[in-house]
Structure 1
Amino acid sequence: MMMAWIKRHKIALLIFWFAFIAIACNLSSSTRPPTIVPRSSPTPPPTIGFATLSPAELPSSIATPHPDSNVELLNLINQIETDRLMLHVDALASLRTRHVNSQGINQAYDYIRGEFDKITQQTGNLFVFTHEFPLEWAGTRTIQRNIAAVISGDEIGAGTILISAHYDSISQFPEDSVVDAPGANDNASGVATLIELARIMSQRPHRSTIMFVAFSAEEVGRRGSLAFMTDYISSQGIEIDAMINLDIIGSSTGPNGINNDRQMRVFSANPNESLSRQLARSMNLIAFNHAPDMELIVENAEDRQNRYSDHLSFSERGFPAVRLIEAAEEPNRTNTSNDTIDDVQASYLTRSAQTVLVTVTSLADGLRPPRNVSLRDNGGGVRQLVWEQVPGATSYVVALRRPNSLIYDQQFETTENSVTWDGFVPTRFAGVAIAARDENGLIGPLTEEILIQ
């Protein structure tokens, strides 16, 4: 089956590979005055609704940017291997079902654990363990297993980033463990990406600790992630700086022939100033700068109506958590026998994986955000934004959010650790956050948002 797929798509894959070589991210390592990077795109997110600031409206020290390409980041993006992703999807979907009361769930565990163990043998930089928990579903008691793989960070205080995907599947008959539920898109696509990210990221050290977790029993009330939170995260006192949940990320097709292969949705808990929503718009900004081939659309909800996923097990406990999901979801395919590999588009899944890789790299490897940020009133309608310098920073990205906006609508860049401006007023902007850029052009995680009042 896979050989036929590879032959059919050989030319398309070659074209796709060369297309990525041509991408250049709008980064700047110049020592010239600060640069502005307007938040605009050929297809602007529907949540913006505001015009981009003109150069005359910006602080006087801000200059026009000189775009530069980040070869190191481009090389990282190209390490995602499409064939590996599709082989993982095929291996899991071919089990027919991964229902929690089926043999398929055990076979899926063996496969995922085996892939993580292979990575450990190859890199020696991935610690893998199994977390067991009891489950009773449809009158059957079982022992379910979450699979975790950890790369220890090498910088004290850089925190922990958790990336997850659930590996169980279910049909339109939730208690039936026999009926076909291949779950190629929901959620072999997420698990395939999880394994591929672990393979790539375990090949080098990182500032932050990175945890990859494949959850079981998500489809029956996210019992796996709830148990993991109680038994491991809470009991060990682990602070999670960002939880990124990958669930249904492999198809660009939706109802009525819709095809959206350039966007993903990001769901996060309200209110708009919550830590989860701040993580969502930080990822939107990072992708805007570093992954221009995929736009992350920040949604004003924790998930689709009457739906859920494992990120909620973390945001309910106060941790920043988001769910990534494709833009053009086909509800009549999810949780049915029709969720097969035929409806997983290799190019879209690859771009999804690349976007996640870029955002996680920024959060894990970028310089830590500036400390002691304050917005001072200088009088006469002028305010000064001040922060501590970050060792190794070549510049700072200042991100601004319009009133009622879900994302940072505008950003500008400065080499100084302060900005004096008459634009820091609540009628124009509701919040501001700052990130440091390193000598390679990588933007790090943003500060917690400062509300402009």
Structure 2
Amino acid sequence: MLNTHTPTLFRAIKRLTTTLGFMVVILLFSVATVNAQTDERIYEIIDAVSEDRLRADVKKLADFGTRHTLSDTVSNTRGIGAARRWIKSEFEKTSQNCNNCLDVFYQSNLVKKGDNNRITKDVMVVNVLAVQKGTKYPNRYVIMSGDIDSRISDPNNYTDDAPGANDNASGMAGTMEAARVLSKYSFENSIIYVGLSGEEQGLYGGKGLAAHAKEKGWEIIGIMNNDMIGNIEGVDGVIDNRTFRIFSEPVPPTETEQQRRARRFYGGEVDGISRQLARFIYKTTQDYMPEMNPMMVYRLDRFGRGGHHRPFNDAGFAGIRIMEAHENYTQQHQDIRTENGINYGDTFEHVNFPYNAKLTAVNAINLASIAWAPPTPKNVGIGGIVEANARLQWDAVDGAVAYKVYWRDTTSPTWDNARLITDGTSATLKGIVIDNFFFGVAAVGKDGHESPVAFPSQIIR
């Protein structure tokens, strides 16, 4: 068994390409990628995430007083207008430090008074984007988001202090830090770092950006929505600085009636594109950050609640929510006060920055892994009905040097078994009965990075 934390392996293989034939190199590559991804740059990314920068950014955001969507937009020191201008200026500084590698801009939508009961006046919902264009697939985007806006007990109170240190300065600061770290690298796919507004008033920023992506014809690989990634002390008394939750819906709401009927006979109830993105994040985190405990939650979001990945799901894109495992409701959506010895309010001192840094690193390594990987295989077909073998085939993927066929027990949440395919776009798994497992295919790039898994979409005879 290979040591999954030996990043020098791929450097050795690359050196061999100058002296050995392709078949020998690909054999060594195959051994490396069966067990784990081993790109040393991923460890560099983890180490580069700075607690000090996160602390400074969360403090700055909290010090704007309130970032309520309907708050002041004129002041330079208070309100959401000042906050978004500062975020944009920080993205621009990052871009200057990487030879203008980021395209930084506002994306906005007007929301009219009365659109819902939390929109008490006309408001321009403004998102702040920093786009790092891919060298090979500039129109394919993986997104990391945090929310700019904040609120207190009354969702319509846009004048009183709402520092929103954990909800969601922690996610916004994490997004800015990921941009600083990853801007030092070049990727084949594009990455978007975005601060979304209007979350607390009705997910308006996400709705606007998802519609913008549709209008521009962007191919969205997936969005990693970060909402509260800085708290380790739950209201239930649990203190946990290792576990985090990944929320994902089972299948897209945009599936057709034909697809729904097919699932009854062929399976796939928990294998939509968002669930595959969640599994990707789970696996990458376990490979490179084994000290962390990713917890996949089979639900769109918390019970009866919502987050900014949902508008992307509604538009048919893959999207998940990353957040702390144990929420503290005394510090969430609360007026700042002290009652019965309890300090209520989402204030700076409650944020745990070592944990904030860990979850920022989780995002950064998954952004990088996806952005360095080839596209997900398309037109994956499966056969093997009333046979002793499972058969799969798929379209060739540009940039893939190999593929991985995955399978798992139907009750398993993770892809537990894999076979590397280096000689074509089909595979027969002898002795693996199709009835007893679920299957998928991922494309593997030259550095060992894999695409998210594609679940079969058609039956082959």
Is TM > 0.5 for Structure 1 vs Structure 2? yes
Instruction: Label 1:99 to 1:70 Cα distance change in 2 as closer, same or farther (>3 A).
Output: same
CA distance in 2, matches of 1:252, 1:380: 50
Task: Report what 1:18 is aligned to.
Answer: none
> Number of matched residues?
402
One of 77, 83, 98 as aligned partner of 2:67? 98
Greater relative contact order (Cα 8 A, min sep 6): structure 1 or 2? 1
Cα distance per residue 1:98-124 (max 9 Å; x no partner): 112323211211211110111122221
Q: Is the 8 A contact 1:370 1:436 kept in 2?
A: no
Instruction: Label 1:423 to 1:92 Cα distance change in 2 as closer, same or farther (>3 A).
Output: farther
Task: Give matches, 1:43-442, under 5 Å.
Answer: 70-103=39-72, 104-123=79-98, 124-135=100-111, 136=113, 137=118, 139-156=120-137, 159-230=140-211, 232-271=212-251, 272-336=270-334, 337=336, 338-370=345-377, 373-377=380-384, 381-386=388-393, 396-413=403-420, 415-417=422-424, 419-438=427-446, 440=447, 442=448
Q: CA RMSD in A?
A: 3.0
CA distance in 1, matches of 2:197, 2:29: 51
Q: What is the Cα deviation at residue 394 of structure 1?
A: 6.2
Compare 391-400 and 156-165 and name the one that shifted more: 391-400
Task: Report what 1:449 is aligned to.
Answer: 455
SS of equivalent residue, structure 1 residue 171 = coil
SS of equivalent residue, structure 1 residue 430 = strand
Cα distance per residue 1:421-450 (max 9 Å; x no partner): 335334431232323153x4x422134112
Q: Is the 8 A contact 1:133 1:144 kept in 2?
A: yes
Code of the residue aligned with 2:235 in structure 1: it is P
Structure 1 unaligned regions, length at least 5: 1-21, 38-61
CA distance in 1, matches of 2:407, 2:376: 16
Instruction: Label 1:129 to 1:289 Cα distance change in 2 as closer, same or farther (>3 A).
Output: same
Code of the residue aligned with 1:325 in structure 2: it is M
Code of the residue aligned with 1:78 in structure 2: it is D
SS of equivalent residue, structure 2 residue 104 = strand
Structure 2 unaligned regions, length at least 5: 14-26, 73-78, 252-269, 337-344
SS of equivalent residue, structure 2 residue 199 = coil
CA distance in 2, matches of 1:197, 1:228: 20
Q: What is the Cα deviation at residue 281 of structure 1?
A: 1.5
SS of equivalent residue, structure 1 residue 78 = helix
CA distance in 1, matches of 2:9, 2:435: 30
Code of the residue aligned with 2:101 in structure 1: it is N
Q: What is the Cα deviation at residue 176 of structure 1?
A: 1.3
SS of equivalent residue, structure 1 residue 95 = coil
- TM-score, length basis structure 1: 0.80
CA distance in 1, matches of 2:104, 2:457: 41
CA distance in 2, matches of 1:68, 1:134: 44
- TM-score, length basis structure 2: 0.78
Instruction: Label 1:132 to 1:383 Cα distance change in 2 as closer, same or farther (>3 A).
Output: closer
Instruction: Label 1:280 to 1:178 Cα distance change in 2 as closer, same or farther (>3 A).
Output: same
CA distance in 1, matches of 2:381, 2:295: 29
Code of the residue aligned with 2:438 in structure 1: it is A
Q: Is the 8 A contact 2:405 2:418 kept in 1?
A: yes
CA distance in 1, matches of 2:202, 2:191: 25
SS of equivalent residue, structure 1 residue 445 = coil
Task: Report what 1:45 is aligned to.
Answer: none
Instruction: Label 1:391 to 1:236 Cα distance change in 2 as closer, same or farther (>3 A).
Output: closer
SS of equivalent residue, structure 1 residue 101 = coil
Q: Is the 8 A contact 1:401 1:432 kept in 2?
A: no
SS of equivalent residue, structure 1 residue 117 = helix
CA distance in 2, matches of 1:401, 1:28: 28
Compare 215-224 and 396-405 and name the one that shifted more: 396-405
Q: What is the Cα deviation at residue 269 of structure 1?
A: 2.0
